[in-house]
Amino acid sequence: MPTPDTFDTLSLESQLRTLHLAAILKGYGSVAQEAAEQEWSYIHYLAHLMDQESQRRTRNRLQRRIQAVS
């Protein structure tokens, strides 16, 4: 039987996939470890994840635009 943490992790990852938050899905674990080590606030942790997601989307949008004019 899965532990509560395992269930939470599976649920979180499923929700991130559903919402198409690929950068957060890819990096939340390592960012959580860094946040714990550096004693970040929850807001700082979330802002860091959202910044990564925003950067990924900006890069993807730029790549699509470049491909469209090629």
Structure tokens belonging to residue 69: 């004019």
- Give residue 31's pLDDT: 97
CA distance 46 to 61: 22
Per-residue pLDDT of the chain (70 residues; tens, 9 = 90+): 567 778 899 999 999 999 999 999 999 999 999 999 999 999 999 999 999 999 999 999 999 999 999 8
CA distance 26 to 49: 10
Q: How many domains does the chain have?
A: 1
- Give residue 5's pLDDT: 79
CA distance 55 to 47: 12
pTM: 0.84
Q: In terms of residue numbers, what domain contains 64?
A: 4-69
Residues 6+ apart with CB under 8 A from 12: 28
Query: In 3-state terms, what secondary structure has residue 70?
Result: coil
- Give residue 25's pLDDT: 97
